[in-house]
Chain A
Amino acid sequence: MQAKEYIGESWKHGILIVGAILVLLPFYMMVSMSLKSQQEIQSISGGLIGAQEVQTFPVCVKTGYSEETCTTKPYIYNYWFAFEKAPIPRYLMNGVIVTLSIFIIQVLVALPCAYALAKLRFYGREFVFSMVLFCLLIPVHGIALPLYVMLAQAGLVDTYSALILPWTISVFGIFLMRQFFMTVPDELIDAARMDGMGEYSIVWKVMLPTAIPALLAFAIFSVVAHWNDYFWPRMVITGNRDLFTPPLGIREFRGGIDSDEFGPMMASIVTVTVPLIVAFIIAQKRFIEGITLTGMK
């Protein structure tokens, strides 16, 4: 490598580092605020983690906890108080329930349909496929209002069903799986039929295992999209805290931005955001594949 190339390389790194700092700025702010005391946050001092001096927290005492419980280091206090104030585990569990239900139902609906479209011959197949292609164009968030009206008429607002039902059909899942099944050789299916397998067993015992890579990509796409979705839960969950998904929880924590303590608030937000980010960092290759492969919507 020549000197000139070194210079070129350093320039590139210089630009990218500035970009990386800009990208990481809010993450830094979030983590830093969740660790520091209110005074440090307000005076913008203490760097990333603050001085971590043991102190008594007035808001905590006012809430009714003993002075002893309220005297601790800021980072412990922030995270402890966050869990005291809001049922964070409940929100996380709701997130898991909703995202998993959505994904499982999507697969139950999409997989057989994709198999039929790819491997079975029947009257009207082209029509069904063009219907899938048309539905690909419809953004579900865009038709949220009529969906909301329908759910309200059915009396389903403020239920788990409202959170899950509109997402049970993933035309994108059908499309993706169909494209994948097209590449599966017919001989495999014929052999299964020779062995006396019915079409149902073929779908679940032959096609499903071959589709694992595509399914995994789709799973990541689906789970990330619905874990992070805020718009739809905001529409259909009006006040029942028991049904709050993580983003609704985040909104609740923010509540009084001017009156509240910022430390515990940010601690809640970090807690709710972290699971997905950790999963991403552990399995980033799969995540990037999943989200880009299936990035249609």
Chain B
Amino acid sequence: MHNSKAHIWFIAPAIILMIVILIFPLFLAGGISFTDYNLGNKSIGWVGLENYDKMFNRKTYVKMIWATATYVIVVVPISVVLGLCAAMLLNSLRFGADIYKTIFFLPVMATLLAMAIAWEFTLHPTLGIVNSFLANGCGGIREFILGLHWLPWVDSQQSWYHVACANNMDFPYWLKQKNTAIWTICFIGIWQAFGFNMVLYLAGLTGIPRELYQAAEMDGAKSTWEQFKLVTWPMLGPTTLFVVTITTIRTFQVFDTIEILTKGGPSKTTYVMMYAIFEKAIQQNLTSIGAAITVVFIAFILILTFFQRYVIERRVHY
């Protein structure tokens, strides 16, 4: 017979904190987004949907949505597929899998901000090893491979690599150029995320019973690809759902690499939502527009998670 009041003391702190820290801010953001409130203002005026109107019509915010969407749409599928490929490769190795696992997981652990700066130097046009590696490879095997000269439809005199070599080593300023910045940021995002997905997939792979592969083989699925289609992929359904959900939520929140490397530029091509919230609300003290972006951001995430949890989930579970 336990003290029937104990539970109140056990759950009260958690409930209060959930309401104050997680639920109330949702309403606060919603509320502020309909006003012209700026932090430090004495008065608050109701402006209705004006902030949202700005968001969907001003060029800056349209670019913001584009940048965020591009980042998510590129990083999520590639890092998930790379994670799966790495996991399957490691799983089929006879030796050495643990070393690769440690290496691929390092970016997940390391402070992303520090690694962003390390990448900045690695990709630096004059100090970086990437561009010097490319420059030293002009006319050689590197040009052949990375210039894609081995593809039948690529003219070796016109490939990006050959043109850069011919123009006095004019290789991209990866993070400073309008046409490469977002892709470079995506690359760093993938670099950071795929190890995490790999580990989740490795865990998923160990859960597949061996008999299933034998059964598939008896049914005539001899090749690795057929076995993958018949057994591995369907059995990994729940893992994939989980991996995709987490990766999506994480990629939506990209901030560190943007703030330290591009500041949303050049010409807003990397102006993602979290950075926009920070820049508008904290640096420019435009709290209300920041709140509107927050609301849209949260809405995106909630819709996506609901979609993934309740719509797709029905199809994945075997």
Question: Contact check: which of A116, A146, A174, A288 meets B291 at CB < 8 Å?
Answer: A146
Interface flags, B230-269, vs A, CB<8A=1, else 0: 0000000000000000100100110110011000000000
Q: For the complex, what is the distance from the CA of A140 to the CA of B119, rounded to whole Å?
A: 27
A interface: dominant SS: helix
* B278 with A235: CB separation less than 8 A: yes
* A165 with B278: CB separation less than 8 A: no
* A276 with B110: CB separation less than 8 A: yes
Question: Contact check: which of B118, B130, B298 meets A27 at CB < 8 Å?
Answer: B118
**B290 — nearest CB in chain A belongs to which residue?**
A145
> What's the nearest-Cβ distance from chain A to residue B276, in Å?
11
A152: CB under 8 A from chain B? yes
**Contact residues in A for B111 (Cβ distance below 8 Å):** 227-228, 230, 246-247, 250, 272-273, 276
* B301 with A284: CB separation less than 8 A: no
A-B interface pairs (CB < 8 A), number: 256
B184: CB under 8 A from chain A? no
A96: CB under 8 A from chain B? no
Pick from A56-64, A73-81, A193-201 the stretch touching chain B.
A193-201
Interface flags, B105-137, vs A, CB<8A=1, else 0: 111111111110111111000111110100000
A132: CB under 8 A from chain B? yes
B305: CB under 8 A from chain A? yes
Count, chain A residues at interface, CB 8 A: 90
**B95 — nearest CB in chain A belongs to which residue?**
A9
Question: Contact check: which of B93, B103, B287 meets A149 at CB < 8 Å?
Answer: B287
B94: CB under 8 A from chain A? yes
**Contact residues in A for B115 (Cβ distance below 8 Å):** 26-27, 30, 273
A281: CB under 8 A from chain B? yes
Interface flags, B284-298, vs A, CB<8A=1, else 0: 000100110010011
**B89 — nearest CB in chain A belongs to which residue?**
A12
Pick from B26-34, B51-59, B152-160, B213-221 the stretch touching chain A.
B26-34
Given A108-B13, A272-B114, 16 more A-B residue pairs with CB atoms under 8 Å apart are: A1-B94, A12-B89, A12-B92, A16-B89, A23-B107, A26-B118, A27-B110, A112-B9, A171-B18, A247-B114, A250-B117, A262-B127, A276-B109, A291-B109, A292-B196, A292-B199
8 of the cross-chain contacts (CB-CB < 8 Å) are A16-B90, A19-B100, A30-B117, A44-B127, A139-B253, A144-B277, A147-B25, A198-B3
